[in-house]
Amino acid sequence: MLPELGHLALILALALALVQGTVPLAGAARGDGAWMAVARPAAWGQFLFLALAFGLLTQAFIANEFSVLYVASNSNSQLPLIYRISAVWGGHEGSLLLWALLLALWTAAVGLLSRRLPLEMVARVIAVMGLISCGFLLFMLLTSNPFERLWPAAPDGRDLNPLLQDPGLVLHPPMLYMGYVGFSVAFAFAIAALLGGRLDAAWARWSRPWTTVAWAFLTLGIALGSWWAYYELGWGGWWFWDPVENASFLPWLVGTALMHSLAVSEKRGAFKSWTVLLAICAFSLSLLGTFLVRSGVLTSVHAFANDPTRGVFILMLLGAVVGSSLLVYAARAPQVKSSGSFALFSRETLLLGNNVVLTVAAASILLGTLYPLALDALGVGKISVGPPYFNTVFVPLMVPLLLTLGIGPLTRWKRDRVSRLLGPLGGLLLLSAVLGAAGPWLAYGRLPAMAAVGTALGFWVLFTVLLDIRQRSRHCGLGGLNRSYWGMTVAHLGVAVTVVGITLSSHYSVERDLRLAPGESADIGDYTFTFEGVEHARGPNYTSSAGTVRVSLDGEPVARLAAEKRVYTVQGMPMTEAGIDAGLTRDLYVALGEPLASGAWALRLYYKPYVRWIWLGSLLMAFGGLLAAADRRYRLARHGRDETEPKANLQPVEAGA
């Protein structure tokens, strides 16, 4: 009975989404206030019904309702409660429901926090989001109903994929989806502004906090996924340039460009058409990511749907969104006037450089991701593009990006003199280069060129950020700097931390695959790893071979690592649980391979310096984003100032880009 109620709630949500997507839009076109006023209640109603549907599906999982096909395919009575709850989004149907729920949540939030916006604008934004929601709800009801019954009911479920039975994976999809779906707000604002012909500073100011929050969630989602891959897949890698990873990285890159371009549009009234195009691209890439990941085109842990009709449906949805939004863009963009002119050396130029580099990076990753698919679809041949391609293309692009990252915030809007900055910056660049070369060389005794470059760029960002803080706080003190500025600063420092982490862990990791019998030792870097042997153990829904490895440094014990090889009983699927001793400057990492003759095991032993910094930096970036979005200015903007004039804001204090 309850699952049918959930199904009904989905249908009602679709009905409301249809109303929400059409009536306010028509109202805005006719100037009819009553029709436009439908937007908010419709959005809230849709959210309530989707929350109800989601709650009922969760209830079906908690109650082990194996007469529901989706529950029977993704859960088991032996599964611990926390994973029964996270299993709700562990499969295709449920993750779609989560997507739709989060979209409704963002829409409801827009309705709630936009009291000061003109009703016409709000109506259009909510209507555009309603139309997107219609697409996803139709998709769910027509091809992937999570409440479908199974008759006769299964005696027990087929269990959740063991890879997903993990704390990191409980949070990874909701965070990632918050980011993906969050870009729909920036998209809806852009389309609404195009439709209303209101591409002004106010539009950019409204879009900014939403975009930044979505970007922060996406950052967290990607970082969680990378961290999970590191400890769960047992290969010790944190990024594989796998197509599904690229699918989340593409909207992140374009979203980063969008955040910076929005800053120019707000402060200086320039780059407007470009910003709109980026907003369309960021959301389209989010949809493309969903298509790639969910359609079964790519094969990975994420590809649940091998039903071709589903892939075709998402592709049609993608085509409709991209096609219609580009059509609106083509019709309206020529009327957009970008006002602010700027000199060759100015903050605008540097932000333009940021945008060019980020979009080129995104385009080259897109090429490497889609090229094999295109060749396969054309029947030319089966190929794959390996990580070396992505590294060769991506890493060199980051060098100019990080250099401009350091200079950008120090530069003035509109016009600046190179000579003003050349003195201090030249010194800092030299200092960073010396420290970047000396630091790793002293610590590890050898210096690959890229290790020096990466570390030097980390120092460069740190120093320029500190210089910027000193210059800006000279007049107003540290307390006078606003949250938006601190957010930018923290996020930029996060970039530096991540870059140093990536550089040091990729150049100075020591990795060895070994055959070890109990009692034997191996040296990894300065550490001695001693294999103590393997014991058998039982978990709630798996059996396990648990190995212990003692690690010592110069005879002093450092850590005892417990690595496991589990076999999940329901699916008979083996899983590696790595044993990790985490530290700020190094991780010690052990994964069990396979049992060999006479009690020996194949073992994978790693020493990974500074690998934690990769995720620490991502956390800083996400925190910086949230801090910037919490700036008082965005709330003041809702207290009825006249916002149609672009503000030529040249005071350094307010100029947090």
Contacting residues toward another protein, per CB under 8 A = 161, 163, 234, 299-301, 341-344, 349, 352, 356, 360, 364, 367-368, 371, 381-386, 388-389, 392-393, 396-397, 513-515, 565, 571-576, 591, 593-594, 596-597, 602, 604
Q: Where are the alpha helices (DSSP H) in 114-196?
A: 119-143, 167-196
DSSP assignment of 414-473 equals S---HHHHHHHHHHHHHHHHHHHHHHHHHHHS---HHHHHHHHHHHHHHHHHHHHHHHHH
Q: Which is nearer to another protein, 385 or 421 (CB)?
A: 385
Task: Find all residues with CB under 8 Å of 470, minimum gap 6, and list them.
Answer: none
Tokens of residue 241, six digits: 């340039």
Tokens of residue 637, six digits: 């903007």
Tell me the three state secondary structure of residue 312.
helix
Q: Which is nearer to another protein, 285 or 352 (CB)?
A: 352
Q: Which is nearer to another protein, 564 or 643 (CB)?
A: 564
Q: Least Å distance between CB 243 and another protein?
A: 13
What's 153's DSSP letter?
P
524, amino acid identity: I
Q: Which is nearer to another protein, 319 or 599 (CB)?
A: 599
Q: What angle do CA 620, 626, 631 make, to 5 degrees?
A: 125
Q: What angle do CA 147, 150, 156 make, to 5 degrees?
A: 105
Phi then psi for residue 579, to 5 deg, are -100, 120
| Contact present, 573 and 559 (Cβ < 8 Å) | no
Which residue in 653, 538, 644, 547 sits closest to 599, CA to CA?
547
Q: Which is nearer to another protein, 48 or 602 (CB)?
A: 602
Q: Least Å distance between CB 489 and another protein?
A: 28
Encode 548-575: b = buried (16+ Cβ within 10 Å), e = exposed: bbebeeeeeebbebebbbbebbbbeeeb
Q: Least Å distance between CB 373 and another protein?
A: 11
CA distance linking residue 633 with residue 647, whole number of Å: 13
Q: Least Å distance between CB 520 and another protein?
A: 12
Q: Which is nearer to another protein, 193 or 305 (CB)?
A: 305
Q: Which is nearer to another protein, 75 or 184 (CB)?
A: 75
Tell me the three state secondary structure of residue 611.
coil
CA distances (Å), 334 to each of 282, 330, 597, in order?
Answer: 21, 7, 73
Q: Least Å distance between CB 393 and another protein?
A: 5
Q: Least Å distance between CB 567 and another protein?
A: 9
Tokens of residue 24, six digits: 């306010």
Q: What is the DSSP pairing of strand 542-553 with strand 601-609?
A: unpaired
Which residue in 162, 148, 149, 158 sits closest to 75, CA to CA?
158
Q: What angle do CA 398, 399, 403 make, to 5 degrees?
A: 115
Q: Which is nearer to another protein, 33 or 574 (CB)?
A: 574
Phi then psi for residue 601, to 5 deg, are -130, 155
Q: Which is nearer to another protein, 299 or 335 (CB)?
A: 299
Q: Which is nearer to another protein, 3 or 353 (CB)?
A: 353
Q: Least Å distance between CB 252 and another protein?
A: 19
Task: Find all residues with CB under 8 Å of 352, minimum gap 6, and list them.
Answer: 264, 271
Q: Least Å distance between CB 170 and another protein?
A: 18
Q: Least Å distance between CB 589 and another protein?
A: 13
Q: Which is nearer to another protein, 101 or 591 (CB)?
A: 591
Tell me the three state secondary structure of residue 625.
helix
Which residue in 92, 163, 618, 152 sits closest to 311, CA to CA?
92
Q: Which is nearer to another protein, 176 or 188 (CB)?
A: 176
- Cβ count within 10 A of residue 216: 27
Taking the mean position of all CA atoms in its chain, how far away is CA 145?
A: 27
Q: Which is nearer to another protein, 8 or 360 (CB)?
A: 360
DSSP assignment of 535-567 equals EEEE-SSEEEEEEEEEEEETTEEEEEEEEEEEE
Q: Least Å distance between CB 391 and another protein?
A: 9
Q: Which is nearer to another protein, 365 or 496 (CB)?
A: 365
Q: Least Å distance between CB 640 and another protein?
A: 35
CA distance linking residue 306 with residue 312, whole number of Å: 11
Q: Least Å distance between CB 603 and another protein?
A: 8
Q: Least Å distance between CB 594 and another protein?
A: 6
Q: Which is nearer to another protein, 388 or 479 (CB)?
A: 388
Q: Least Å distance between CB 573 and another protein?
A: 6
Longest dimension (CA), the chain: 82
Tokens of residue 312, six digits: 């075709």
What's 68's DSSP letter?
B
Q: Which is nearer to another protein, 101 or 578 (CB)?
A: 578
CA distance linking residue 463 with residue 410, whole number of Å: 12
Q: Least Å distance between CB 319 and another protein?
A: 24
Which residue in 190, 182, 244, 246 sits closest to 215, CA to CA?
182
Q: Which residue has the tokens 């800053």?
A: 263
Q: Least Å distance between CB 621 and another protein?
A: 24
